[in-house]
Structure 1
Amino acid sequence: MRTEELVEVVLPGKVEPEGLRIRHGAVPTPGPGQVLIRMEATGVSFAEQQMRRGRYYDQPPFPFVPGYDLVGTVQSTGESVEPGLAGTRVAALLKVGGWASHVLVDAADVVPVPEGIDAAQAETLVVNGITAWQMLHRKARVRAGHTVVVYGANGGVGSVLVQLALAAGARVIGTASVRHHDDLRERGVVPVDYRAADVAARIRELAPGGVDAVFDHVGGRGIVDSWRLLAPGGTLVSYGSASTRDAEGSKQLPVLKLLGRVWLWNALPNRRRACFYNVWAGRALARNRFRSRLRADLTEVFASLRRGDLTARIAAELPLTDAPEALRLAESGTVAGKVVLRP
């Protein structure tokens, strides 16, 4: 009888996708408070694309196993973990380590996946779903009648933001390349070409009185334009750095200057607000609260999927050992949805 083995993808340094390495080893044993998850689906996020360039904030030193999140079945449990958890399909947010056939996770960090949701479907909505839900409902508090702007409306987080905002009754203006505009219109989004000479001016034409929320994944100097789009009472949520994908940051607004500008904006008596979003914020200071919110919010995301408010957008499914091809495909900008890796 063949012995089960661990298969994992290693990011050895700042390499092209082809530089990823496959490593084999023994399947680990869960320690106290841990579960061993047999991975059924993991994915390629923007985070891994930045990590291979060494540009993701707080990434571990090379070499390491990437993989921001995963969905799988609990294969075994450690001491002080409810044994009945074995055999349960769960999702987990990890930051790193998900690109492996078997992954050790603290039992307190797993969220059950409801019956009837495929592993790949659930995977598309772990980090993207939590991020979109928390920004929309916890940060911007979007509700029916609001007008919101979603940059990168066809992207991983952007497409989930669009769907959740529409489900909340908001009007959505979304930026994307022209080839995605018909799809956005079919979903009820007003599309704007992100390559247009003055995107902000086009958005102001569509919302002369300003908008209630802007979700900006680009960062950089364009964040000033995002702030100026807000109506009184509006919220700017900055949650990414897509503008640094292909640059070394020389043209970016210095971090301290940007923080100072946001502080000043929030001090102005115009009821507008700007904030940065990071899914890991507060984890170090209030771990139990962080876990509670994560479980509650991901449960809401999965419920939205079952209701039909959300559609799982899978761009492609590839074997784990084809991670280089999956990463290159995700970085190509030619696909809509998430590239999923299977065992």
Structure 2
Amino acid sequence: MKYRSVIVPKRGGPEVLQVVENDLRRPSAGEARIRILAASVCAPDISSRYGHTPFAPRVPFVPGYAIIGVVDAIGKDVTNAAEGDRVAALMGYGGYAEHAFVGQEELIPVPGTLDPAEAVTLILNYLVAYQVMHRSARVDAGDKVLIVGASGGIGTALLQLGKLANLSMYGIASRSKHHILTEYGATPIDYHTQDFVEVIRKAEPDGLDAVFDGMGGDYFKRGFSLLRRGGTLVGYGNPLSFSRMLHLLGQVI
């Protein structure tokens, strides 16, 4: 039997993507074979395709960071999944395919009532948002935070988690997206017409407890300047080279 996957044979835009056929093998020991129902399209897929990240795999490769699918075969010693189970997995690479082979420790059960095309968008966005907010910044109720890129996928997840954590939030987004921010209790800042540094320094003269920066570049440096002593800046999702990151750190430290 055969299955199809989408490969990146060379660096470039979406025009470089190619559909290829592969032999459908049995899963190895400890693996489950997943018939993929939905795969997300996210920033890491795009930056890897262009090679704009220090972690891009060598070409050719199959992109696709996260999947939801149905287990259709299991290998020896698999104990936490059975054929017919609906599962999610954070792949990193390999999701743009009809089938994927995933170690059993990577599988997360998914209720069958969820639409896989909707649920797959939650995996990377909410994992990153939770890690950023609760494991990196370790926020407490009442903390004052800034979300850069607040209307994007991870930004929206941060807004929702921030509301649950009772944070005082500011968010940078275009005016057309401000209704998303206000829905979750954040103060919106329009990056087209407002200087976010000026707005926040006026509103929070003692500084912010945390800045969550998904844009990088100048936002990283200017966001750092808004922190109170002991505050935390967490950058995520920005495909900087190591040399560029060291340069930015040198400017703010």
TM-score normalised over the length of structure 2: 0.91
Runs of 4+ aligned residues of structure 1 deviating over 4 Å after TM superposition are 259-262
Q: Give the drift of 1:253.
A: 7.6
Query: Residues 146-184 of structure 1: CA distance to partner in whole angstroms, max 9, x if unpaired?
Result: 111111111111110110011111121111111111232
Q: Give the drift of 1:197.
A: 5.7
Structure 1: gaps spanning 5 or more residues: 265-343
Structure 2: gaps spanning 5 or more residues: none
Query: Residues 67-88 of structure 1: CA distance to partner in whole angstroms, max 9, x if unpaired?
Result: 0111111111011112852211
Q: Give the drift of 1:19.
A: 2.3
Residues 77 and 83 in structure 1, CA contact (< 8 A), matched pair in contact too: no
Q: 1:234 to 1:115 in 2, by over 3 A?
A: farther
The match for 2:185 is 188
The match for 2:246 is 256
Query: Residues 252-290 of structure 1: CA distance to partner in whole angstroms, max 9, x if unpaired?
Result: 98333334556x4xxxxxxxxxxxxxxxxxxxxxxxxxx
Pick the aligned partner of 2:78 from 74, 78, 81: 81
The range that moved more, 191-200 or 86-95, is: 191-200
Q: What pairs up with 1:293-312 in 2 under 5 angstroms?
A: none
The range that moved more, 118-127 or 197-206, is: 197-206
Number of residues of Structure 1 aligned to a counterpart in Structure 2: 253
The range that moved more, 229-238 or 202-211, is: 202-211
Tell me which amino acid in the other structure corresponds to 2:139.
V
Q: What pairs up with 1:18-167 in 2 under 5 angstroms?
A: 18-82=15-79, 85-167=82-164
Query: Residues 197-255 of structure 1: CA distance to partner in whole angstroms, max 9, x if unpaired?
Result: 6322122233222111100112224322111111233211111326x6xxxx8xx9833
Indicate the SS of the match to 1:80.
coil
Q: 1:150 to 1:66 in 2, by over 3 A?
A: same
Q: Give the drift of 1:15.
A: 2.2
Whole-Å Cα distance in 1 between the matches of residues 80 and 141 of structure 2? 44
Tell me which amino acid in the other structure corresponds to 1:91.
A
Percent of aligned pairs with the same residue? 39
The match for 1:199 is 196
Indicate the SS of the match to 1:254.
helix
Structure with greater contact order relative to length (CA < 8 Å, sep ≥ 6): 1
Tell me which amino acid in the other structure corresponds to 2:87.
V
Q: 1:85 to 1:170 in 2, by over 3 A?
A: same
Q: Give the drift of 1:117.
A: 2.8
Tell me which amino acid in the other structure corresponds to 2:8.
L
